[in-house]
Amino acid sequence: MKLNLRVYGSLKLIIGNRNIVIDVPEHTTLNELPDVLKVTFGKEFYQLIKGDPAFKGMRVLIDGRDLFTLAGLETILYEGNTVTILPPFVGG
Question: Which domains are present in the chain?
Answer: 2-78 (3.10.20.30)
pTM for the whole structure:
0.92
Residue 25 neighbours by CB under 8 Å, 6+ apart: 1, 36
| 45, 20 Cβ separation under 8 angstroms | no
Confidence of residue 51 (pLDDT cuts 50, 70, 90): confident
Residues 7-32: what's their mean pLDDT? 95
Name the nearest CA neighbour of 34 among 79, 80, 73, 90: 73
pLDDT in tens, 56-71: 889 999 999 999 999 9
| C-alpha dihedral, 77 to 35 to 69 to 79, nearest 10° | -10
Q: Is residue 91 predicted with pLDDT exceeding 60? A: no
